Amino acid sequence: MFSNIDAMNDKIQEKLKILADAAKYDVSCSSSGGKRKNENKGIGNAEGMGICHSYTEDGRCVSLLKILLTNFCIFDCAYCVTRRSNDIKRTAFTVDEVVSLTLNFYRRNYIEGLFLSSGIFKNADYTMERLVRIAKKLRQEHQFNGYIHLKTIPGASEELIKEAGLYADRLSVNIELPSEQSLKSLAPEKNYSQVLVPMQAITTELILNKEEKKLFKSTPGFAPAGQSTQLIVGASAETDHQILQLSSGLYQDYKLKRVYYSGYVPVSQDNRLPALVSPPVIRENRIYQADWLMRFYGFRANEIANDFYPHLDLEIDPKLAWALRNRAWFPIEINTADYELILRVPGIGVKSAKKIVSARRFTPLHFDHLQKIGVVLKRAKYFITCQGRSLEAKDYTEQLIRRKILFGEGSYRSVLVKQQLDLFQVAG
């Protein structure tokens, strides 16, 4: 992909390769992770790093140029690939180089926007000022109307953050570690106030801007796509319960659009870090699912994980885990249950729940109706009835339901489940 840009000299290509690769560890926007090469003059190219995918509020997928301004850094965070003590090749873009790259990629239809982060050289304000200059130059000098996501540097002044919001669509301030104690241990030069103070400043500015727009239509927008943050999962000892409690507080107190979770990738040797062979991808995925439940399904953080269940079940999704722990709530009658309770049934999503509530006003619903609506009956059938009828009349134990859902009907492993069910029926 990079070799297709004729105007790009070898020096810029080398910088792009280094700084795009380093940017992959910042997941404050979604990354595709594709590595497909363009061979035999095919269409498109996903070789190397540099292009990531994010999603707009209306569901559109947009491609972003994802790079660091520099991988120089004055901090020595144990978990970070750009840490001061890490023996890596260092480089930095100039302001004009980033502007030129963004425009070149955009004109070739590779990207629809820019995600710009950075290590910290000299100090926070020095680095943040350059990030702002890039966004300002793109907007004012080149009338660039693509999406811009700027990483806010912890410790930067409030004035620079406000200016950044005038040119960026989204701002992000990365918390990185889920507790102050872990931050002191793994990143002793940082503290929570460096993150929470600018996060609060952005939140306040977003609220004020919204109120001003009601009075004056000409009010310039401020970070219209809101703000996000990133938490690293697995680099420190916090439980899933602690992580979800923190995320819940961020959504409630700082009105964040998204909290992103990144499974810790062992990028450098340090005795303070866990010895991982591979990043905890499954745990990361379960936390994302739990986050989704909090944002769209009405679950509270302490319902999903708590002192009794501090970690999410890696074998099943958190919604099913909650339902199995709370069998007293079920089965529910699908024709009369409240919308909020229907949302808690495994196998029923937000769209399906809305369709159920709408459709049952006209006719009593049966299981074949639910299947057409999109309900995943192989999960939901253990937790619902239709007009008093159940597809699974037996009062299965939590473990038997779990095994039936995990192993499926008709699979080789389901033979084990059948044996357990036979024993259960004999004992009954």
Residue 421 has pLDDT above 60, yes or no: no
Q: Which two structure tokens, joined as six digits, stand for 378?
A: 């192989």
Q: Which two structure tokens, joined as six digits, stand for 385?
A: 């009835």
Q: What is the mean pLDDT of residues 372-384?
A: 94
Where do the structural domains in the chain lie, given as residue ranges? 2-229, 318-427
Question: What are the angstrom distances between the C-alpha of 392 and each of 281, 384, 401, 407?
Answer: 34, 9, 10, 17
The 10s digit of each residue's pLDDT in 53-66 is 666 656 667 788 99
Burial 84-113 (b: 16+ CB within 10 A, else e): eebeeeebbbebebbbbbbebbbeeebbbb
Count other Cβ atoms within 10 Å, centred on residue 207.
12
Q: Tell me the torsion sign for CA atoms 346, 347, 353, 358.
A: negative
Tokens 């570690």 — which residue? 177
**Poorest-confidence range of 118-132, 201-215, 408-422?**
408-422
Distance CA(365)–CA(336), nearest Å, equals 10
pLDDT for 38 equals 45
Pick the CATH number of 2-229 from 1.10.3470, 2.60.120, 3.30.43, 3.20.20: 3.20.20
The 10s digit of each residue's pLDDT in 275-304 is 776 678 899 999 999 999 999 999 999 999
**pLDDT, averaged across the chain:** 86
E-state strands within 118-226:
147-151, 170-172
The band of 227, judged by pLDDT with boundaries at 50, 70 and 90, is: very high
The band of 346, judged by pLDDT with boundaries at 50, 70 and 90, is: very high
What backbone torsions phi and psi does residue 205 show, to the nearest 5 degrees?
Answer: -65, -35
Distance CA(182)–CA(160), nearest Å, equals 28
Q: Are 148 and 169 in contact (CB under 8 A)?
A: yes
Instruction: Pick the closest to residue 1 from 61, 33, 49 (CA basis).
Output: 49
158-167 and 124-140 helices cross at what angle (nearest 10)?
A: 20
Q: How many CA atoms lie within 13 A of 53 on its CB side?
A: 7
Cis peptide bond prior to 266, omega within 30° of 0 = no
Of 261 and 403, which is predicted with more confidence?
A: 261
pTM (two decimals): 0.85
pLDDT for 42 equals 44
Instruction: Pick the closest to residue 16 from 85, 101, 99 (CA basis).
Output: 101
Distance CA(245)–CA(239), nearest Å, equals 10
120 sits in the region (left: phi over 0; alpha: psi -120 to 50; else beta) called beta
What backbone torsions phi and psi does residue 376 show, to the nearest 5 degrees?
Answer: -85, 95
Distance CA(259)–CA(25), nearest Å, equals 15
Distance CA(167)–CA(116), nearest Å, equals 13
Beta-carbon contacts of 340 under 8 Å, excluding residues fewer than 6 positions away, are 298
398-407 and 318-325 helices cross at what angle (nearest 10)?
A: 150
Instruction: Pick the closest to residue 170 from 145, 151, 153, 149 (CA basis).
Output: 149
The band of 422, judged by pLDDT with boundaries at 50, 70 and 90, is: low
Q: What is the mean pLDDT of residues 198-214?
A: 94
The 10s digit of each residue's pLDDT in 78-112 is 888 899 988 899 999 999 999 999 999 999 888 88
Q: Are 347 and 376 in contact (CB under 8 A)?
A: yes
Q: What is the mean pLDDT of residues 410-421?
A: 49
pLDDT for 54 equals 67
Instruction: Pick the closest to residue 263 from 284, 288, 290, 236 (CA basis).
Output: 284
The 10s digit of each residue's pLDDT in 180-198 is 999 999 999 888 988 899 9
Residue 159 has pLDDT above 60, yes or no: yes
What backbone torsions phi and psi does residue 315 show, to the nearest 5 degrees?
Answer: -85, -30
